Structure 1
């Protein structure tokens, strides 16, 4: 077989970059958990100074800094032997409550390695893996990574893109957050709209316990949480029902949509936030699609298959979600309200 050396080198260059990123993933978590990023963001330091300020060993810190510098996550000045971070790097790496939380995403990566044996078995058997069977780092990472997106988009752009919803929330509305996890989206909305009532539902009891604790700590007295799956919650008359990055995980998304249709008021709204995806595979063969397909293979598809679901996957796309919500679920109006590079925000009305 004739090998094109230029194409070979191009591919190997890409593969080495990916290998370096994979090898560095655990070190991202180290930097986050030991406060190395947060201390670096305060100003330029030597490796010894960084180690002293974080209570860590200089030799390990020096090697960690080399890894981070080679990856473009920190800067090094050879004249002064100082390491530093740019404002842009600090924005993405040091503030769990900011608009981007990259280390939070690496908790999700960590969870996929905890589940590796199960994933290999699933490939052979076609079986699934329940959300609650994952390592707890998945629940923490999901909250952190998605909370950053909510901080940036939910109040300022997603809710205002829905027809008349913000006015209702300001006056006092009833809102159901389905598949709420640790409650980051529920709590943020509750704090923003104190005259509205928010109920978060999730079938994972441990997540509901965490959400309840976080709401109390945040002072979100108008938010409460209940253990219930997406076809079992009993609330009715909701002005807004929200699905944040979860409808594609469901075992029976059509029944979930039908249940939402009965639970929403006659002039209410369902907001379905889904990972950004085109309707054909070739639309999604890009860096964002790569991340989403990776998470979907190891987390989203197994959750659905664990209950014999259709496994829509994180790259289901707008057309497939429309089929579920309109054709199957009984909603009559459906549109793309807005989007980000990572999300589609879809609006459904009775």
Structure 2
């Protein structure tokens, strides 16, 4: 990862006003690109252009939008280097705009590991709640996941979907011997904080012998998870419960929490529930952000993006449900270790699974 803050020196003498001004100006341009990507996604522009090159009137007709807006958006995307144009010298409504294949993968291929568009939707969607965030910062309160609404829910699920249906169940988890045995012998799995259910569904698709119970307290997410399970053809082996996992009965061979412990207002209680649900020889797995082990400034791009999510989404959501420990996105290993020990575990083990954004923990 590159480090755009490398102009700062070890002595604390940061960049000049001119240099930092240029950096912020560049960020404004990129923020506008994110806003344009949000529009392109919501209005179906990218999906239409992924099929064939279109003129502004053709794009407007395909998407049910106004030609004048379609033309301006297309021209912005061409100027920004997202689209190419066949005949820039033609009359405005006769220019034909193309979406290159590589760009189309990032913007429209929902199963590609390169599908970054949901992150743009998340940023733009959260941007609609800045007034509420300002109020929370002043009061010490929060802005809940339900307040962030559809954009946050759908973008979060879409961002993780390629991993949860791909490398996670097919490569990462089978590389851990104890988990491999559970998956190979058709064990029972509890997926805590399952969201739209892609982690549960991915495990079931990759390992036909297992059964999965997914738990989440967000009703719209559970509704979508149930629909996704039906469409994936695994609803006979994957059940989703709109309930706190603390209400679950029985024991499981594998208990998981994928990218959600840092959001929990009371993570110790959740981890204790996971411990109770695990069979005597069961595996408890937590997957969370691969942030740096200690605070360092300036940080790399992963650290920056995780703090970005924390200050606008994860911390406000956590603090919206008092009493809350207020973890935030940047949950370092020592923080999880402390939570785990408070929940009755002996320790945590960082598993040797390499991923740019996630760290894998087995709780002993």
Fold conserved between structures, TM > 0.5: yes
Post-superposition offset of 1:292: 1.6
The 2-side partners of 1:337 and 1:271 are apart by 13
- Aligned match of 1:291: 305
**What stretches of structure 1 of length at least 5 have no aligned partner?**
none
Post-superposition offset of 1:123: 0.6
Which SS does the other structure have where 1:310 is aligned?
coil
Residues 349 and 361 in structure 2, CA contact (< 8 A), matched pair in contact too: yes
| 1:196 is the counterpart of 2:205 | no
Structure 1, residues 163-185: CA drift from partner, whole Å, max 9, x if none?
Answer: 33133213211101101111111
- Aligned match of 1:33: 42
Post-superposition offset of 1:126: 0.9
| CA pair 308-237 structure 1, distance change in 2 beyond 3 A | same
- The equivalences for 1:1-350 within 5 A come to 7-77=16-86, 78=88, 82-220=96-234, 221-230=236-245, 232-282=246-296, 285-305=299-319, 306-326=321-341, 328-348=343-363, 350=364
The total of aligned residue pairs comes to 344
Which SS does the other structure have where 2:82 is aligned?
coil
Post-superposition offset of 1:68: 1.9
| CA pair 64-340 structure 1, distance change in 2 beyond 3 A | same
Post-superposition offset of 1:28: 1.1
The 2-side partners of 1:330 and 1:288 are apart by 29
Residues 165 and 198 in structure 2, CA contact (< 8 A), matched pair in contact too: no
Structure 1, residues 268-325: CA drift from partner, whole Å, max 9, x if none?
Answer: 2122111220022227723322222121112211222222221221111222222222
Structure 1, residues 108-131: CA drift from partner, whole Å, max 9, x if none?
Answer: 223323332221111111112332
| CA pair 283-255 structure 1, distance change in 2 beyond 3 A | farther
**What stretches of structure 2 of length at least 5 have no aligned partner?**
1-12
Residues 40 and 46 in structure 2, CA contact (< 8 A), matched pair in contact too: yes
Residues 277 and 283 in structure 1, CA contact (< 8 A), matched pair in contact too: no
The 2-side partners of 1:107 and 1:258 are apart by 34
The alignment's C-alpha RMSD in Å is 2.5
Which SS does the other structure have where 2:127 is aligned?
helix
The 1-side partners of 2:125 and 2:69 are apart by 24
| CA pair 209-295 structure 1, distance change in 2 beyond 3 A | same
Query: Structure 1 length as normaliser, TM-score?
Result: 0.88
Which SS does the other structure have where 1:281 is aligned?
coil
The 2-side partners of 1:336 and 1:284 are apart by 27
